[in-house]
Amino acid sequence: MESNCSAATVRAVLARRMDQPGALLPILHELQDTLGHIPADAVPEIAGALNLSRAEVHGVITYYHHFRAEPAGRRVIQICRAEACQSMGADALLAHAQLRLGCGVHGTTADGAFTLEPVFCLGLCASSPAMTIGDEVHARVTPQVFDALIAQGEATL
């Protein structure tokens, strides 16, 4: 495993949850919440504990966009990609965000400050385009508003 801390965390989560019915998703969620990602080295251990193949565990991790194989930046930015936001400029906003941050979707800035992710519907369809930075939701985001929010975020990191 990549560190003793993450190895101990994986073992503790498995010990708590491996006997639950449908344990894989609760295990993955707890690891994601605790470590910020699912370490690749944890996959064989999870698979063995649950009598699953490594491919099955890997398939679940890669299927759900919530799970990460690598740690995210200190702040996660999600830009809505649902139809209402797309119709109000989300595609241009996402393109601007990639240029401003210097990373692609599912990427992290070189300094580790931000991770950029697409998301499908933040529930702000009437106030689109919408995005989040961490737990903060922002509506009617233009490229100029995005730049101001990122500058504010950079100042508080």
Here the tokens at position 80 are: 């809505």
Read off the pLDDT of residues 80-111 as tens digits, 9 standing for 90 and up.
Answer: 999 999 999 999 999 999 999 999 999 999 99
What mean pLDDT do residues 124-133 have? 95
pTM exceeds 0.95, yes or no: no
Residue 6 pLDDT more than 80? yes
Residue 1 pLDDT more than 60? no
